[in-house]
Amino acid sequence: MKFEFPLMELVDRYTIAQVKYDQTGANLEELLFYELQMAHVDKILIWDELQALKILHSKIWSLEDDFKKCRIDGTDLSEIGRRALEIRDYNNVRAQLKNTVAEKLNDPVREIKTNV
């Protein structure tokens, strides 16, 4: 089975699946699917980006998890806004990392963020 998305998306989804598995252990089938797809990717070439994306997704996971689990009940709007802006900033870095992956893997697709 061939992955039908740009390589940068495959790498991004793979690192998200890794974080999800680390956090929940509930998505082994998904993680194995992406690992199979990643067998065709030069992971050594993009090792730094893989590690950076995984760290970034872990940070985003933590911030979003607070929203999802309503742990911020009673938190003032400025704190909620701060967290939302932090997620936005992480996603901007994520786009840059994905573009670096695309460049290194000679993938012609690039992500363009307009909210920078």
18 domain-assigned = yes
Q: Please give the tally of structural domains in the chain.
A: 1
Q: What tokens does 102 get?
A: 């695309």
Find tokens 């990643």 and name the residue: 38
114 in a structural domain:
no
Q: Is the pTM of this model over 0.95?
A: no
- The 8-class DSSP code of residue 27 comes to -
> What single-letter amino acid sits at 109?
V
For residue 24, give both structure tokens: 């929940």
Q: Is residue 31 part of a domain?
A: yes
Contact 33, 23 (CB under 8 A): no
Residue 40: which domain range? 7-104
User: Quick one: DSSP state of residue 41?
Assistant: S
Residue 112 domain-assigned (yes or no): no
37 within some domain: yes
Q: What is the pLDDT along the chain (116 residues), one digit of tens a residue?
A: 455 678 999 999 999 999 999 999 999 999 999 999 999 899 999 999 999 999 999 999 998 887 766 655 666 778 778 888 999 999 999 999 999 999 999 998 898 877 65
